[in-house]
Amino acid sequence: MSDYTSASTSEQIDRANATGRTPVVFIHGLWLLPSSWDRWAAVFEQAGYTALTPGWPDDPETVAEANAHPEVFAHKTVGQVADHYAEVIGKLAKRPAVVGHSFGGLLAQIIAGRSLSAASVAIDPAPFRGVLPLPISALKSSRPVLGNPANRNRAVPLTYEQFRFAFANAVDEAEARELYDTFAVPASGAPLFQAAAANLNPWTEAKVNSKNPERGPLLIISGEKDHTVPWAIANASYKKQKRNVDVTEIVEIPDRGHALTIDHGWREVADKALAFIQRFA
């Protein structure tokens, strides 16, 4: 963990424990940084929660720094990152709600399966073992990484065109360009290879204990036009999760792509997540 991240996260933990309010931990996915949650954190703080936006291990502070030093993202696996977030949550005085996007949505479900969250929201979550659909658009979105086996051990940036297809297909060109310049950073190739092979590998780290009776309530949010995690994947995750004794819900947001947490309509998604968490945490 980088000094910046550990210091920043420690501060956030201390603050959360000092306030006595219910913490909400936000987990970002590939190609984004914790700062992608800044507006969400403000909304949840106003609603009476304490928001934490811990990064993945070694996350740089800024997009500029991330693009200057892409190598820091390499080699991060699903298991490593899940353990990192479990460690952060273990230092909180109260069991938090957890909100994750994309691979962060997978991580939120892994955390819930370890009985660590009071309620969870998984937004366009990456698939786990047992989730079988593989729509063409999802394969195309992951091709920049999976197309080269050497990328497993690398940090892989997206070109603007790749970002436009995978994240920003449901917004206009000007907004897509702005989102790319504001938010996009390189990402570890390893998690995509892990997710792609999850159904072939019984020992995969990309698995979720969806039947744990201590999982807590879970909401899955799906963007209708998401190319990276289309409805078929989100709904298959929901079907696995709804076998749980706890509340499991899914909602589709019309006309939204994978950038739904950062694009012009982010507030609608944030409000849906907040309303769910307010019911249970």
- β-partners of residue 187 are 156
Strand pairing report for 155-156 and 187-188: antiparallel
Q: How many CB atoms lie under 10 A from the CB of residue 200?
A: 8
CATH for 124: 3.40.50.1820
Distance CA 244, CA 164 (A): 36
- Kindly state the tokens that stand for 58: 């070694």
How many separate domains does the chain show? 1
Domain that holds residue 250: 3-280
pLDDT digits (tens, 9 = 90+) for 4-42: 346 899 999 999 999 999 999 999 999 999 999 999 999
Beta carbons within 8 Å of 200's beta carbon, 6+ residues apart: none
pLDDT of 3 above 50: no
Condensed to tens digits (0 to 9), the pLDDT of residues 182-217 reads 999 999 999 999 999 999 999 999 999 999 999 999
pTM of the model: 0.97
Q: How many whole angstroms separate alpha carbon 15 and alpha carbon 88?
A: 13
**Whole-angstrom Cα distance, residue 204 to residue 79?**
9
3-state secondary structure of 121: strand
Query: Tokens 């291990």 belong to which residue?
Result: 57
Distances 95 to 10, 23, 78 between C-alpha atoms, Å: 16, 7, 22
Contact 93/14 with Cβ under 8 angstroms?
no
**Closest Cα partner for 71 from 188, 160, 183?**
188
Amino acid letter for position 45: E
Write the pLDDT tens digit of every residue in 66-97: 999 999 999 999 999 999 999 999 999 999 99
List, for residues 103-127, the tens digit of each pLDDT value: 999 999 999 999 999 999 999 999 9
